[in-house]
A = this chain, B = another copy of it.
Amino acid sequence: MANTQSLIEQLHRIVKDASRVIVDHESLVPFKSDYSSEGTTPLAVVFPITTKEASEILLLANQYKTPVFPRGRGTSLSGGPVPVVEGIIMDSTKWTSTLEIDPNNLIAVASPGVITADIDKAASKHGLMYPPDPSSLDIATIAGNVAENAGGPRGLKYGVTGDYVLGLEIVTPEGKVMKTGGKTMKNVTGYDLTGLITGSEGTLAVVSQVTLKLIPRPKETRTLSATFEDMTLAGNAVSAVLQNGLLPSKLEFIDQACIKAVEKFEPMDLPVFAEALLLAEVDGTGENVQKEIDEIALIFENFGGCVTVAKNETESNRLWKARKLVSPAIKALCSWKLSEDATVPVSQIPAMIKRLKTIGEKYNVPLVVFGHAGDGNLHPNLLLDKEDAGQLERAELAVKEIFQSALELGGTLSGEHGIGMLKSPFLKNEVGETGIDMMRRIKKAWDPNNILNPGKIFSADDNL
């Protein structure tokens, strides 16, 4: 306790502004959770706004052997920023001083707490685009996106966060400041530490500045939706689009349960009798956009889809509204929503969808599926009743089988949510003991005191 008191005094010494250190219990409580899970109430929350402060906080944490949990807006779906033991939350949300666009080099430089959507907005003023678009982009911080290597619908054509991180300024777990990568499109100077930090879930470094690649903003987009009476045909239609050399900017899938949930949540004449709804967006320039949307429409029709092409932006927004409301609509149906992101090779989408349905029935848990079908990244969601212990137990078994199915079909545990605390028990199934050992070696070499975000990625059982 005396130790905690002294630690907090030291935090106040580093961060002079009292409003940037939280220690009262009531204010600390919200910081024990993210969008997926709950941990322990932290000792303190500190909001650094300079690299120097972040560095000094980590030096202090090493001195006190106290864990530090980096956090953005807490939108993680894998427990990423959740404190699993008592420690300090290092919150980046007040650290927003820098947001610079360099239109001559197609680059953005941002402080860790800058909101992702704000980067794209700033880029758009110069006719540029920052493509990664996780659902949380209006809330989440760029450092959070980097930590999780967040993806979104546009990942199909444009890739994920990591594909746009050219360089980082980071603070190492022991408080040293360094830069990785830079402002050039190509860089092979030593190990790719930029790539190693991206997606390392805050276990290897605190990101203090991000340098991002931007691209010319596509001049036009077109949207179509298609309903399918048969879900497998919808899955086959997705594969067919890609195999025909078409690359929509988005290609999203919603199953019947989601359609019904959205229609209940906000009636909009959705086809509740359809087994699946596909949404595709094409972007680019000139006649190619129209040509590509026509080709996709034709393929969808060949697989029995009933196609609607949006004639203008208003119609396009109306079509996308159904997809955007899926999460809130299914959340309204349950007291506990478990969102997974098992991902498979594109050709296995129909097989995976079938397996997911079977798993839901086998364990008798309400399971709905939506997601980024174009890159094989499905989001099976379990709609659970917090009070129903039996159901929660069955859900746990169902999740285990979902992961197993994804791996059996040549896929991965996580396409975009990360491992965090929720999937760490399953890591071994995908990367094997040697994989975990080699990852742990990096963690130990970089963070000998295990200060940064302990309890994430690796499971306690994996301490090989």
Which residues on A are within 8 Å of B, measured CB to CB?
102-107, 127, 148-149, 151, 155-156, 160, 162-163, 172, 176-180, 182-193, 195-196, 198-200, 204, 215-217, 239, 242-243, 245-247, 284-288, 291, 343-347, 375-377, 410-419, 423, 427, 430-432, 434-439, 441-442, 444-446, 457
Does A190 contact B442, Cβ atoms closer than 8 Å?
A: no
A372 — nearest CB in chain B belongs to which residue?
Answer: B186
Query: What residues on B are CB-neighbors of A149 within 8 Å?
Result: 188, 192
Does A343 contact B286, Cβ atoms closer than 8 Å?
A: no
Residue of B163, B245, B376 near A127 (CB, 8 A) is B245
Does B186 contact A434, Cβ atoms closer than 8 Å?
A: no
Does B431 contact A190, Cβ atoms closer than 8 Å?
A: yes
State A239–B256 Cα separation when bound (angstroms).
49
Residue of B186, B198, B245 near A155 (CB, 8 A) is B186
Query: What residues on B are CB-neighbors of A411 within 8 Å?
Result: 182-184
Does A415 contact B179, Cβ atoms closer than 8 Å?
A: no
State A377–B188 Cα separation when bound (angstroms).
11
Query: What residues on B are CB-neighbors of A243 within 8 Å?
Result: 103-104
Query: What residues on B are CB-neighbors of A163 within 8 Å?
Result: 163
Does B439 contact A193, Cβ atoms closer than 8 Å?
A: yes
Does B345 contact A105, Cβ atoms closer than 8 Å?
A: yes
Does A414 contact B106, Cβ atoms closer than 8 Å?
A: no
Does A177 contact B434, Cβ atoms closer than 8 Å?
A: yes
Query: What residues on B are CB-neighbors of A347 within 8 Å?
Result: 102, 104-105
Residue of B103, B190, B434, B438 near A435 (CB, 8 A) is B190
Measured CB to CB, the closest approach of chain B to A157, in angstroms, equals 10
Does B414 contact A187, Cβ atoms closer than 8 Å?
A: yes
Does A415 contact B187, Cβ atoms closer than 8 Å?
A: yes
Q: A104-B347, A247-B216, A412-B184 are in contact. Are A190 and B155 (CB under 8 A)?
A: no
State A55–B286 Cα separation when bound (angstroms).
53
Q: List 26 A-B contacts (CB under 8 A).
A: A103-B243, A104-B345, A106-B346, A127-B245, A155-B186, A172-B438, A177-B434, A183-B410, A184-B376, A186-B375, A186-B377, A186-B412, A187-B412, A188-B418, A188-B419, A189-B414, A190-B419, A190-B430, A191-B196, A191-B457, A192-B196, A195-B196, A196-B442, A284-B288, A285-B288, A441-B446
Q: A286-B288, A286-B291, A445-B445 are in contact. Are A180 and B148 (CB under 8 A)?
A: no
Residue of B180, B183, B286 near A345 (CB, 8 A) is B183
Does B188 contact A417, Cβ atoms closer than 8 Å?
A: yes
State A31–B187 Cα separation when bound (angstroms).
27
State A377–B182 Cα separation when bound (angstroms).
14
Query: What residues on B are CB-neighbors of A155 within 8 Å?
Result: 185-186
Q: A195-B196, A444-B445 are in contact. Are A431 and B172 (CB under 8 A)?
A: no
Does B200 contact A410, Cβ atoms closer than 8 Å?
A: no
Does B416 contact A186, Cβ atoms closer than 8 Å?
A: yes
A374 — nearest CB in chain B belongs to which residue?
Answer: B185
State A411–B178 Cα separation when bound (angstroms).
16
Q: A415-B186, A442-B442 are in contact. Are A179 and B216 (CB under 8 A)?
A: no
The 10 closest A-B pairs by CB, nearest first: A216-B245, A195-B195, A186-B415, A104-B347, A441-B445, A445-B445, A178-B434, A105-B345, A185-B375, A187-B412
Measured CB to CB, the closest approach of chain B to A430, in angstroms, equals 5
Measured CB to CB, the closest approach of chain B to A355, in angstroms, equals 16
State A173–B282 Cα separation when bound (angstroms).
45
State A291–B285 Cα separation when bound (angstroms).
10
Does B427 contact A184, Cβ atoms closer than 8 Å?
A: no
Measured CB to CB, the closest approach of chain B to A80, in angstroms, equals 11
Q: A104-B346, A104-B347, A432-B178 are in contact. Are A148 and B188 (CB under 8 A)?
A: yes
Does B186 contact A191, Cβ atoms closer than 8 Å?
A: no
A429 — nearest CB in chain B belongs to which residue?
Answer: B189
State A189–B180 Cα separation when bound (angstroms).
22
Query: What residues on B are CB-neighbors of A189 within 8 Å?
Result: 412-414, 419, 423, 427, 430-431
